[in-house]
Structure 1
Amino acid sequence: MKLSGIFLGIIGVILFSTKAVMVKLAYQYNVTSMHLLLFRMLFSLPFYLGILFYLIKIEKKKLNVKTKDYLWLLFFGFIGYYLASYFDFLGLQYINASLERIILFVYPTLVLLINKLFLKKEITKRQIGAIALTYFGVIIAFGNRNQVVEYDAILGGALVFLSALTYASYIVGSGWLIPKFGVVMFTSFAMVVSTICVCIHYLISDGSSFTIYPTEVYYLGFAMAIIATLIPSFLVSYAIELIGASNFSILGSIGPFSTIILAVIFLEEEINVNQIIGVIIVVLGIRIVTKKG
């Protein structure tokens, strides 16, 4: 793996980890998940549109893509940042940021499974063992929970798992679409598509005023747009281009640790022994996947 790709991937993963903490901070102001997702996408939209229009103007003649490539781009934009984000924001209403990151971290194993099912890429015995170990770690992290909140934990965990599944699909798709569009254009297209989907969802299912919140909510929305969305989205796309989708997925092992640290500092979350053991087991599972020989 190229060191530059690894470095960009690590920074991107850490910045993405700040998102869960910002979401939990915003929920303290009774903001809805749809409004919060809308803020995140709308604040970042002007930047993506500006970049996209510039690239189209200077690179239109250089593009060698077909209609089906654009259709795939629409599909992966829909699932990658719209569905994945929506499921994640809903899940964070029921579970804490640390547990969310542990569950979301299983997406590298889902990348392997999707590659096997749809791209016919082989999974080694070591990878199968790593997948089993990873999910065992998630189960451990869920252990020793109060029965009163058990239903919320299961519901929130299921929603975040759906987020992991849709994001893994996006990672796989971006691996072969990025060379066709270029990393920056692909990311910008995907984010614009996702923003349009969020706006349509908002108009159909909600439509209520989003100007009723304290100023802090909009600051958090803007921070999510820039720090936890705009910058890491390009870093991750560049990393995928340099080291590949499967290799990048391994770098996600940093995510749970960075989120736990941030959650303890900014949310004063209490981390239990099960979560610590669980995240160590999960990360160990991914480490086995990366081990050569």
Structure 2
Amino acid sequence: MTRSGDAVSHPPFPLAGYAFGAAGAMLFASKGIIIKLAYAEGIDPETLLALRMAFSLPFYLAVGAFALLRLRGMGEPLPSGRLVVQSMLVGALGYWLASYLDFAGLQYTSASFSRLILFTYPIYVALFGALLFGQPIRPKAMLAFALAYGGLALIFLQNVTAMGSDVVKGSVLVTLAAISFALYQLCARSLLQRVGSALFTCIAMISASIMAIGQFAVLRPVEALMVSPHGLMLAVSVAIGATVLPTFLMNAALKRISAQANSMISTVSPVATMVLAVIFLGESASPAELAGAVLVMASIGWFTLSDARRR
């Protein structure tokens, strides 16, 4: 049973849903670009992640408080302490650990390659769903996995020749980020239904913020927060433009269009990252890398579409 505030209806203007979904995917695509620009300013991953979560935290606190007041006003029960703790743990997995691994990996890989690796997380959802949750594994998942990683292998071979062993380190970190986010997706499903999507998202992000700020406090001196004005602007951009706004845009899209349509729109994200990386970072792509990117996006897009139809 879903919360009243999360009920899905059939709105009169589905085109708005496609616009919201595309805008959210484009903003998510900008994350790797902004992170790379911040690294060029001398900001380390721990500091940038802490700043990102600190700047986004007030928005999630406000939305979470509104969601709680709305539940009380409608006379619905508030989530139990146990559900809150479970939501916090799962949120830390998906929005702190996965994010930190992604941030760390971006020190060693290109923004577009990192985004393509992250884009494979639906395959890990299928694989770990079978291994850990007893969900049936389908040949389509294995075929999509093989095709996607065949495409990534093409890009990896091009990058490792040019950049050396750092690419291996970055690829492993971003792959672990994709695995962490896949596990988050599996663990979050039942909590989303029991807590409600808006409140769960806020609890998860607040938990991730506590973890990120705590990690910074342990690993870095307070003086590390004294970044340049341009670095501060980039931290605000990754917090608001690549975190808060796309989160709410994706939620708005899901209220207006199907999950299937929203999943297909998300394939815009790696393409947008590649274009933005060329414009703002001066990255280039060889024919082999472009072929690998097409193979990854086609295989994951096909798997996502077939999985959505099956549901």
| TM-score over 0.5 for the pair | yes
Structure 2 Cα separation of the partners of residues 45 and 281 of structure 1: 37
Question: Which of the residues 203, 217, 224 maps onto 2:217?
Answer: 203
* TM-aligned CA deviation for residue 145 of structure 1: 3.3
Structure 1 Cα separation of the partners of residues 156 and 62 of structure 2: 43
Give matches, 1:1-293, under 5 Å: 8-60=20-72, 61-63=75-77, 65-145=79-159, 147=161, 149-237=163-251, 243=258, 251-289=265-303, 290-291=305-306
Structure 2 Cα separation of the partners of residues 243 and 174 of structure 1: 19
AA partner of residue 110 (structure 1): Y
* TM-aligned CA deviation for residue 162 of structure 1: 1.0
Structure 1 Cα separation of the partners of residues 144 and 118 of structure 2: 16
Query: What TM-score, normalized by structure 2, do the two folds share?
Result: 0.85
Structure 1 Cα separation of the partners of residues 212 and 276 of structure 2: 27
Unaligned runs of 5+ in 1: none
Alpha carbons 2:29, 2:273 under 8 Å: kept: yes
Could you give the per-residue CA deviations for residues 112-143 of structure 1, whole angstroms, max 9, x where no partner exists?
12222233332322232111111111111112
SS of 1:144's partner is helix
Alpha carbons 1:63, 1:181 under 8 Å: kept: no
TM-align CA RMSD: 2.5
Structure 1 Cα separation of the partners of residues 267 and 20 of structure 2: 14
Alpha carbons 1:139, 1:278 under 8 Å: kept: yes
Q: 151-160 vs 271-280, which deviates more?
A: 271-280
* TM-aligned CA deviation for residue 154 of structure 1: 0.4
Change (3 A) 1:170 1:10: farther
Change (3 A) 1:287 1:49: closer
SS of 1:95's partner is coil
* TM-aligned CA deviation for residue 211 of structure 1: 4.0
* TM-aligned CA deviation for residue 168 of structure 1: 1.6
Q: 126-135 vs 140-149, which deviates more?
A: 140-149
Alpha carbons 1:183, 1:234 under 8 Å: kept: no
Structure 2 Cα separation of the partners of residues 261 and 252 of structure 1: 15
Could you give the per-residue CA deviations for residues 121-175 of structure 1, whole angstroms, max 9, x where no partner exists?
3232223211111111111111233547221000011111111111122223333
Query: What TM-score, normalized by structure 1, do the two folds share?
Result: 0.90
* TM-aligned CA deviation for residue 76 of structure 1: 1.4
Alpha carbons 2:105, 2:169 under 8 Å: kept: yes
Alpha carbons 1:52, 1:188 under 8 Å: kept: yes
Unaligned runs of 5+ in 2: 1-9
* Superposed structure 1 runs of 4+ greater than 6 Å apart: none
Alpha carbons 1:108, 1:250 under 8 Å: kept: no
AA partner of residue 39 (structure 2): Y
Change (3 A) 1:17 1:23: same
Change (3 A) 1:110 1:9: farther
AA partner of residue 40 (structure 1): R
Partner in structure 1 of residue 5 of structure 2: none
AA partner of residue 41 (structure 1): M
